Amino acid sequence: MAAAIGLVAVWQLGVQLLAIPDYLLPGPRAVAATVVSERTLIFQHGLVTLYEAGLGFTLALVFAVPVSVIIVWSKVAEKTVLPLMVFLQTVPKVAIAPLFIIWFGFGPFPKVLISFLLAYFPIVIEMVTGLRDVNPTVLDLARSMSITPFQTFTKIRIPNSLPYLFSGLKLGALLSLVGAIVAEFMGSMDGLGYLVLYANDRMDTTLCFAVLVVLLLLGKALFSVVEWVERYAIAWHVVVRENEQIMFTT
Amino acid sequence: MITLDGVHLTYPHKGGSIEALTDVSFSAREGEFLSIVGPSGCGKSTLIKIIAGLLPTSKGEARVDGKLVRGPHPNVGIVFQEATLLAWRSVLRNIMLQIEVRQEFENDAYVPRARDLIKLAGLDGFEDRYPWELSGGMQQRVSFCRALIHDPPLLLMDEPFGALDAMTRDEMGVWLQKTWMERARTVLFVTHDIGEAVFLSDRVMVMTARPGRVKEIMEIDLPRPRELRITEEIEFVKYVSHARRLMHAEGYY
């Protein structure tokens, strides 16, 4: 936080002392003023981006959780679905975004799709790791109780995977926003990505920065929402993690 | 209660195979406290897994209550060296896991029993605490409660005090003896600590390593209840040094 305030102060001072014109690098005061004066415009476009990213992220979550369970449950899925996913992941999503515009037009759908495609992968990878990473002695203990394969998931593997799932979700939330913006760059009539291009075309660097600041805040907000849910959903893990940090730093 | 007859266990390793257990035969009487001591690598933990039905033998057979062990069976409770508590479950719910998972029990009927065990383990007031809030010794006592909740006639313990400090270890030993004397059940107790084995057991089985085989089974004829100060008495020391010599005779420490 202190670092952020320091950075803004240096930025404002630098711009003033070096007399940099606004179209090259506007100072934070000018940017803040634009955020306020253009709030209606930014808000409207922000809602569009938030909708696309939110939907992409939600779909990613809904898709990733059962797929991860299936991958760990079934040897066949582990040997087919997972390698296929990793292979597809090597294709740069950003490069196929223009294709989606051709196929699906300028509406929100291709944006949601790109957003989804960027967000689901880290969620699957993290959750699969969490489902597998169970202490073998715990599994021995469970087997001695004649546990069923289904119970192994409901009572042990799935709860065990939740801390991993949440770190996947934090990454996924940020990537879903990136996906929506990139898709908007490729072709759209609204959204914050569109607004950035629009401002650039008119050499309105201050508006461009204003949108970037809002994007930054939006990303932070999405991240915080996931963190907040995590705190309630898996308090048993969050508290331990924080205690460890305290022990580590003192 | 437990009978092992000519048990061999080999497992593949780097192309060849390793013999973990060779011709292990012994039996434990109903209600007996039998310890298994030996150097690391003698297969004592493997024995526990075989009796629990977690590991099949390569040759020979294991019987519990006259029934051939073919897989996990209901009449057993296990305590491992690690407490292996589930971090997302409270103390009470960790103990109840055993009941929830085993289909043959009525869930709610066991909650009062779990509370009694918690009291017995000196964990009064900790029912709703989570594992990270407990010390290592307390966690291990919770795992004892979990092993006892369904009142199994057979208790298997694999170095249950191995991860505890010396003080806690002594306390836990006295506590375990008390618990066992109140409700005598057959206990198989694996440890590498000879003193601990002699202190707790009716008989001590000494094993040697690579491959693991039974060297001798010693009868421990000391009156119960035993108190910690018995460890300083001459008979006790004799048992310990005899067991130690058996292990050293093979060149292991």
Q: Which residues from A are below 8 Å from B83, CB to CB?
A: none
Minimal Cβ distance to A236: which of B98, B102, B130: B130
How does the average pLDDT of chain A come out, rounded? 91
Q: A202: closest CA among A212, A190, A194, A213?
A: A194
Q: A45: closest CA among A192, A217, A208?
A: A192
| Residue that the structure tokens 């300083």 belong to | B232
Residue A126 pLDDT level (bands cut at 50, 70, 90): very high
The three-point CA angle A127-B139-B149 to 5° equals: 95
Supply B176's token pair: 């375990």
Chain A interface, best mutation among B45, B69, B86, by max A CB count within 10 A: B86
Assess B82–A contact: CB distance below 8 Å, yes or no. Answer: yes
CATH of domain B2-248: 3.40.50.300
CATH of the domain at A82: 1.10.3720.10
* Sign of torsion over alpha carbons B19, B24, B30, B33: negative
Q: Report the gap between the CA of A135 and the closest CA in chain B (Å).
A: 8
Query: CB A155 to CB B101 under 8 A?
Result: yes
So what's the pLDDT on residue A128? Answer: 96
Q: Which residues from A are below 8 Å from B74, CB to CB?
A: 146
User: What is the tens place of the pLDDT at every residue in A135-148?
Assistant: 999 999 999 999 99
| Strands of the sheet with B76-79, listed across from one edge | B76-79, B154-158, B186-191, B33-37, B203-208, B213-219
Minimal Cβ distance to B101: which of A135, A145, A239: A145
Q: Which residues from A are below 8 Å from B55, CB to CB?
A: none
Assess A8–B contact: CB distance below 8 Å, yes or no. Answer: no
Rounded distance between C-alpha atoms, residue B59 and residue B50, angstroms: 12
Assess A200–B contact: CB distance below 8 Å, yes or no. Answer: no
So what's the pLDDT on residue A249? Answer: 53
Query: CB B82 to CB A147 under 8 A?
Result: no
CB A114 within 8 A of CB A180: yes
CB B214 within 8 A of CB B4: no
Minimal Cβ distance to A144: which of B54, B88, B130: B54
CB B215 within 8 A of CB B206: yes
Give, for A201, the enclosing helix (H) or strand (E). Answer: helix A192-201
The residues that bridge with B216 in the sheet, in sequence order, are: B206
User: What is the tens place of the pLDDT at every residue in A50-93?
Assistant: 999 999 999 999 999 999 999 999 999 999 999 999 888 888 88
CB B91 within 8 A of CB B127: yes
User: What is the tens place of the pLDDT at every residue in B10-55?
Assistant: 888 888 888 889 999 999 999 999 999 988 878 888 999 999 999 9
Q: Is residue A63 part of a domain?
A: yes
| Residue A206 backbone dihedrals phi, psi, to 5 degrees | -65, -45
**A205: Cα separation from own chain's centroid:** 26
CB B35 within 8 A of CB B204: yes
Q: Which residues from A are below 8 Å from B54, CB to CB?
A: 140, 143-144
Query: For residue A135, what is the nearest residue in chain B, using CA coordinates?
Result: B84
Q: Report the gap between the CA of A165 and the closest CA in chain B (Å).
A: 15
Q: Which residues from A are below 8 Å from B45, CB to CB?
A: none
> How many domains would you assign to chain A?
1
Q: Is residue A22 part of a domain?
A: no
| Exposed e or buried b per residue across B183-198, where buried means at least 16 C-beta atoms within 10 angstroms of its C-beta | eebbbbbbbbbbbbbb
Rounded distance between C-alpha atoms, residue B103 and residue A150, angstroms: 13
User: Would you say residue A239 has pLDDT above 90?
Assistant: no
Share of chain B above pLDDT 90, in %: 64
* Lowest-pLDDT choice from B139-148, B206-215, B232-241: B206-215
Q: Is residue A32 part of a domain?
A: no
- Going from the C-alpha of B13 to that of each of A62, A80, B16, B21, B141, the distances in angstroms are 42, 29, 5, 15, 36
Tell me the ipTM for this assembly.
0.89
Q: Which residues from B are below 8 Å from A147, CB to CB?
A: 101
Query: For residue B87, what is the nearest residue in chain A, using CA coordinates?
Result: A236
Peptide bond preceding B225 in cis form (omega within 30 of 0): yes
Query: Domain residues for A73?
Result: 41-245
* Lowest-pLDDT choice from A26-40, A196-210, B47-61, B100-114: B100-114
Q: Which residues from B are below 8 Å from A155, CB to CB?
A: 86, 97, 100-101
User: Would you say residue A30 has pLDDT above 60?
Assistant: yes
User: Would you say residue A167 has pLDDT above 90?
Assistant: yes
Q: Report the gap between the CA of A81 and the closest CA in chain B (Å).
A: 30
Assess A137–B contact: CB distance below 8 Å, yes or no. Answer: yes
